[in-house]
């Protein structure tokens, strides 16, 4: 998805013209990447920002959660961005570059790529440093988000999660309000043991001063060059299979029973589910409900159905070695028998 914010203000950040600057935001499932992206788009200091968002799943939920989505979008193919990177990402970046006209008022100023939570960022980095894009863009930094509450070095046994930390320039330890300061200190010590020169920041709800993460020029001299010097990985390798990640998408034009859905979350949701998100419709409520689950914590926020929307359920569940048929049946059992309008 490409999303272009339109606002410009008198206190705009000054971005030097040395190729279109690019920030890659990565991080494991549920770390808060979309929340950070919303913060950037809402407080962009007058920058006109293009955003590429990719999801691991058949339903594009993140595009419905972003606060400034416009009709000016290009959808990337479904699946992990680092697995479908060959021509798709490059073509999308070239379309953005057509709108990069330094010095002109309608020019794009910045490109942000938000990867899916199970992405290995190295193939994306190499696209910007090892192809013709190197002469047209400036890879500014790779920012990795960590959920302070759920992250442990042993928790995920995921090559993707390790790569996200290994190739980072900035590590944003998010959700620090949910743990003790001693716990955050311990996490930072672990991060520095892997990346002794990483810039580690703390945040709550993805809120961080933008000058600390945009136009910082880290990647040119930091981990992106390290990535080029690292042993080459086969970009066609399916790390999703190696890590055992599964994405399950569920849609329905019938509403959920609130009681049955709550019972599903309490008693049937597997422990190997790391992330779930969606737009939910309950028989007991006329509202549009935005659902977010990370680890064992979830919340549901009320919103209003847009005039172009018909109420429906759209849910994506991501985890390891999940039984798709069983979860589909369990979710179907949560639906009411009839569609109520």
Q: Which of 46-60, 76-90, 313-327 has the lowest mean pLDDT?
A: 76-90
Q: Are residues 206 and 88 both part of a single domain?
A: yes
Written as six digits, the tokens of 12 are 């705009």
pLDDT of 156 higher than 90: no
Give the model's pLDDT for residue 251: 93
Judgement on whether residues 164 and 304 belong to the same structural domain of the protein: no
**Same domain as 252, residue 226:** no
Give dist(CA 338, CA 315) in Å, integer.
19
Structure tokens at 305: 């159905």
The encoded tokens of residue 143 equal 């920012």
What percent of the chain is predicted at pLDDT more than 90?
26
Residues 188 and 268 in one domain: no
Supply the pLDDT for residue 204: 93
Q: Which of 212, 240, 268 is the last residue of a domain?
A: 240
User: Which residue, 45, 169, 22, 25, is CA-closest to 110?
Assistant: 22
Of 245 and 341, the one with more pLDDT: 245
Give the pLDDT of residue 193: 85
CB proximity list for 295: less than 8 A, separation 6 or greater = 30, 147, 149, 150, 274
**pLDDT recorded at residue 243:** 66
Dihedral (CA of 41, 45, 47, 48) sign: positive
pLDDT at 78: 40
- Write the DSSP assignment of 7-20 as a string of letters: ---TT-----SSSE
User: What is the chain's percent helix, strand, coil content, to nearest 5?
Assistant: 30, 25, 45
Q: What does the block give as tokens for 239?
A: 């790390």
Mean pLDDT rounded to a whole number for the chain: 77
For residue 5, what pLDDT is reported?
A: 40
pLDDT at residue 31 tops 60: yes
Q: How confident is the model at residue 227 (pLDDT cuts 50, 70, 90)?
A: very low
Reply yes or no on whether the pLDDT at 219 is more than 80. no
Q: Of 180, 215, 240, which residue sits at a domain end? A: 240
Flag whether 209 is in a domain: yes
pLDDT in tens, 304-313: 888 888 899 9
Nearest-angstrom CA–CA distance, 259 and 284: 9
338 inside domain: no
Residue 312 sits in a domain whose CATH number is: 3.30.1220.10
Query: Measured between alpha carbons, how far is residue 246 from residues 117, 163, 266, 296 in Å?
Result: 12, 19, 21, 18
210 with 294, same domain: the answer is: no
Q: Number of structural domains, the chain?
A: 2
162 lies in some domain: yes
> Percent of the chain having pLDDT more than 70?
74
Q: Is 192 contained in some domain?
A: yes
Position 281 confidence tier, pLDDT thresholds 50, 70, 90: very high
User: What is the structure's pLDDT at 8?
Assistant: 39
Long-range contacts of 34-37 (CB under 8 A, 24+ apart): 34/62, 34/65, 34/66, 34/114, 35/174, 35/205, 35/206, 36/145, 36/172, 36/174, 36/203, 36/206, 36/208, 37/66, 37/112, 37/114, 37/206
Same domain for 149 and 189: yes
**Higher pLDDT pick, 327 / 3:** 327
Asked whether 40 and 112 are in contact (CB, 8 A), the reply is yes
Retrieve residue 337's tokens: 């028998």
Mean of the pLDDT values across residues 93-108?
84
**What pLDDT, in 10s, does the model give residues 242-262?**
567 788 899 999 999 999 999
Q: Which of 24-33, 114-123, 253-262 has the lowest mean pLDDT?
A: 114-123
Same-domain check for residues 59 and 149: yes
- Judge whether 340 lies within some domain: no
pLDDT of residue 105: 80
pLDDT value at residue 142: 92
Q: Which domain holds residue 120?
A: 2-240
Please name which of 204, 131, 166 lies closest in space to residue 26, comparing C-alpha atoms.
166
Same domain membership, residue 234 and residue 92 = yes
Residue 322: inside a domain, yes or no?
Answer: yes
Q: Are residues 228 and 257 in the same domain?
A: no
Q: Please give the full DSSP string across 300-314, using - where no structure is assigned.
A: EEEE---TTPPP-EE
Identify the bridge partners of residue 294 per DSSP, sorted by sequence position.
275, 297
Please say if the pLDDT value at position 201 is more than 90: yes
Mean pLDDT score, 95-107? 83
On the question of pLDDT at 2 being above 50, the answer is no
Q: Which of 209, 240, 271 is the last residue of a domain?
A: 240
More confident residue, 54 or 138: 138
The CATH number of the domain holding residue 78 is 3.40.50.300
Instruction: Give the DSSP per-residue string, 210-229.
Output: GGGTSS---TTTSHHHHHHH
Mean pLDDT (whole number) for 316-341? 85
The closest alpha carbon to 22, from 134, 98, 102, belongs to 134
What pLDDT was estimated at residue 173?
Answer: 94
Q: How confident is the model at residue 107 (pLDDT cuts 50, 70, 90)?
A: confident
- Position with higher pLDDT, 36 vs 235: 36
Work out the average pLDDT over 129-136: 84
Q: What is the mean pLDDT of residues 81-91?
A: 55
Kindly state whether residue 187 falls inside one of the protein's structural domains: yes
pLDDT of the residue at 321? 81
For the beta carbon of residue 5, count every other beta carbon within 10 angstroms. 21
Query: Quick one: residue 280, left, alpha or beta (phi over 0 = left, psi -120 to 50 = alpha)?
Result: beta
């Amino acid at each position: 998805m490409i999303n272009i914010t339109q606002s410009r203000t008198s206190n705009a950040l000054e971005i030097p013209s040395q190729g279109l600057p690019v920030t890659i935001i990565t991080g494991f499932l549920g770390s808060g990447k979309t929340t950070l992206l919303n913060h950037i788009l809402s407080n962009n200091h007058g920058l006109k920002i293009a955003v590429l968002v990719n999801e691991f799943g058949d339903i594009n939920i993140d595009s419905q959660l972003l606060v400034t989505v416009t009709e000016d979008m290009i959808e990337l193919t479904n699946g992990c961005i680092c697995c479908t990177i060959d021509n798709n990402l490059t073509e999308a970046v070239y379309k953005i570059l057509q709108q990069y006209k330094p010095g002109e008022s309608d020019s794009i100023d910045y490109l942000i790529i938000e990867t899916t939570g199970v992405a290995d960022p190295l193939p994306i980095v190499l696209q910007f440093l090892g192809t013709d894009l190197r002469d047209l863009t400036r890879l500014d930094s790779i920012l990795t988000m960590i959920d302070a509450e759920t992250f442990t070095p042993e928790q995920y046994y995921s090559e993707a999660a390790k790569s996200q930390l290994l190739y980072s320039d900035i590590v944003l330890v998010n959700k620090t309000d949910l743990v003790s300061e001693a716990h955050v200190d311990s996490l930072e010590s672990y991060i520095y043991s892997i990346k002794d020169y990483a810039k580690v920041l703390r945040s709550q709800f993805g809120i961080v001063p933008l000058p600390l993460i945009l136009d910082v020029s880290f990647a040119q001299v930091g981990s992106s060059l390290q990535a080029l010097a690292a042993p080459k990985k086969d970009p066609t390798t399916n790390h999703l299979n190696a890590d055992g990640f599964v994405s399950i998408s569920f849609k329905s034009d019938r509403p959920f029973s609130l009681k049955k859905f709550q019972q599903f979350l309490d008693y049937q949701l597997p422990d190997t589910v790391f992330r779930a998100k969606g737009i939910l419709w309950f028989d007991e409520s006329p509202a549009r409900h935005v659902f977010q689950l990370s680890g064992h914590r979830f919340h549901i926020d009320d919103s209003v159905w847009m005039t172009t929307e018909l109420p429906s359920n759209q849910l994506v569940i991501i985890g390891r070695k999940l039984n798709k048929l069983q979860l589909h049946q369990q979710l179907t059992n949560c639906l009411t028998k009839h569609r109520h309008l």
